[in-house]
Amino acid sequence: MSGDSFLPLQEEFATLAIHEAQEPEQWSCMEVVTPLSTSTTFKQNGPADFKKYEYSRSGNPTREVLEKVIAKLEDGKHGFCFSSGLGANTTLLGLLKSGDHILCINDVYGGTNRLFTKVASRFGIETSFSEIEADSFEKNLRKNTKMIWIETPTNPTLQVCDIQRVADISKKNNVILVVDNTFLTPYFQKPLMLGADIVVHSITKYMNGHSDVVMGAVVCSNEELSKEIKFLQNAMGTVPSPFDCYQVLRSLKTLALRMKQHSESSLHIAKYLESHPKVEKVIHPGLSNHPQYELTKRQTSGHSGMLSFYIKGDIDSSKKFLQSLKIFTLAESLGGYESLAELPAVMTHSSVPADQRERLRITDNLIRLSVGLEDVGSLVADLEQALAAI
């Protein structure tokens, strides 16, 4: 996906993922692999006189390394890890107070939608939703808007939002801009470089990539915001375990290789599905017919393994197709080495109100694929036989 038409990839990305804050000289035994520190507490020389760490919720050696690596990969100054992606989102709500307003992109992960509308609302924080266009964000700002929240590409309809234009709007109105970069990772997109104030990730997905860790992360360069996020991380206690941090450090070392293959395979499959007679429409930002294809080229270095398509038929057709798959696994989540398929309307986005799903065209025949690392020929053959079963 990278090349003349997209932004150039960061040349030293893989090197940073392997070496940043992880050189053996910083450890007492010169370990090549970052040590796993499971201690919950740390000895003090005297009351309130400690070397660096006092309690693992407040700071942990293994977690600190991971936070430094993620911050570096995002070209940010400060990284923070959390117990889940939603744990990261929840912590960021702590930046707001009763009476504040969040302007959120309308096509957003169902869990984020539920958190804002069903939980944040209990504390007096309002949420309304904007269309993908930057002008829509400007039009829907309120006097009490304190945060703009966007995903790009969106989940599951893979719309692409102009980060730089929305950032200009947020700065002009003194509003915090949060960008969820889960789908592309810093390998393909750098929201902070485009003007975002905060980047959030579900590390569970591509950053870990092995479907064995649930984690979230936040990266920020603004010193005042970073101090507040650090305070909230400790005060709210939404931290991951040291072992999970150790696992993600392992995973990041292959992120560049994995993202290249996810990108190549997903585009191959998108082109295959485009020509299939039982497919109504394919959505992939790497296809030239995508509505925001030119924007995608301007602000990203490529695309991940995510694509969605509308199957010709109804919910029974969708169920038959999904139950006929043999290599793609019918399951929620995304970004792992294994290929997954799901029906967002009744799975990941079932908590989104029906009228909102209808407006977004999250219909009973919309299939979302997370293309993994299997041989692409095997994946195409699997889709072929499952489509034939309809």
Yes or no: say if 213 and 203 are a contact pair by the CB < 8 Å rule. yes
% of the chain beyond a pLDDT of 90? 96
Q: Is the pLDDT of residue 3 over 60?
A: no
Selecting among 190, 205, 258, 368, the annotated active-site residue is: 205
For 353, residues 6+ apart whose C-beta sits below 8 A from its C-beta are none
Selecting among 63, 100, 109, 382, the annotated active-site residue is: 109
- Alpha carbons 125 and 107: distance in angstroms, whole number: 19
Q: Is the pLDDT of residue 304 over 60?
A: yes
- Alpha carbons 12 and 18: distance in angstroms, whole number: 10
For the four alpha carbons of 132, 89, 85 and 115, in that order, the dihedral sign comes to negative
- Cis ω for the linkage preceding 153 (within 30 of 0): yes
Averaged pLDDT of the chain: 96
Give catalytic status of residue 180 as yes or no.
yes
% of the chain beyond a pLDDT of 70? 99
Please give the structure tokens belonging to residue 250.
């392992």
Q: Is the pLDDT of residue 40 over 90?
A: yes
Per-residue model confidence (pLDDT) at position 185: 98
3-state secondary structure the chain: CCCCCCCCCCCCHHHHHHHCCCCHHHCCCCCCCCCCCCCCECCCCECCECCCCCECCCCCHHHHHHHHHHHHHCCCCEEEEECCHHHHHHHHHCCCCCCCEEEEECCCCHHHHHHHHHHHHHHCCEEEEECCCHHHHHHHCCCCEEEEEEECCCCCCCCCCCHHHHHHHHHHCCCEEEEECCCCHHHHCCHHHHCCCEEEEECCCCCCCCCCCCCEEEEECCHHHHHHHHHHHHHHCCCCCHHHHHHHHHHHCCHHHHHHHHHHHHHHHHHHHHCCCCEEEEECCCCCCCCCHHHHHHHCCCCCCEEEEEECCCHHHHHHHHHHCCCCEECCCCCCCCCEEECCCCCCCCCCCHHHHHHHCCCCCEEEEECCCCCHHHHHHHHHHHHHCC
pLDDT band for position 2 (cuts 50, 70, 90): very low
- Give Cα 365 distance to the centre of its chain: 24
- Alpha carbons 10 and 20: distance in angstroms, whole number: 15
How far is it between the farthest Cα atoms of the chain? 74
pLDDT band for position 351 (cuts 50, 70, 90): confident
Give catalytic status of residue 57 as yes or no.
yes
Model confidence over 218-250: pLDDT tens digits?
999 999 999 999 999 999 999 999 999 999 999
Please work out, in degrees rounded to the nearest 5, the angle formed at the alpha carbon of residue 317 by the alpha carbons of 364 and 386. Answer: 120
How many CB atoms neighbour CB 106 within 10 A?
A: 18
Q: Is the pLDDT of residue 383 over 70?
A: yes
Q: Is the pLDDT of residue 4 over 60?
A: no
Q: Which of 173, 174, 153 is nearest to 163 (CA)?
A: 153
Yes or no: say if 215 and 81 are a contact pair by the CB < 8 Å rule. yes
pTM summary value: 0.95
- Give Cα 208 distance to the centre of its chain: 11
Average pLDDT estimate for 380-385: 98
Average pLDDT estimate for 327-348: 97
- Alpha carbons 104 and 100: distance in angstroms, whole number: 13
Please give the structure tokens belonging to residue 328.
């793609």
List strands edge to edge, sheet with 126-130: 78-82, 216-220, 198-202, 176-180, 145-151, 101-105, 126-130
Give catalytic status of residue 375 as yes or no.
no
Selecting among 100, 107, 162, 180, the annotated active-site residue is: 180
Task: Kindly list the structural domains of the chain, giving each domain's residue range(s) and its CATH number in brackets, ordered by start.
Answer: 13-252 (3.40.640.10), 255-388 (3.90.1150.10)
Q: Is the pLDDT of residue 204 over 60?
A: yes
**b/e for 115-141, b at 16 or more Cβ within 10 A?**
bbbeebeeeebbbebbbbebebbbebb
Q: Is the pLDDT of residue 30 over 80?
A: yes
Give catalytic status of residue 246 as yes or no.
no
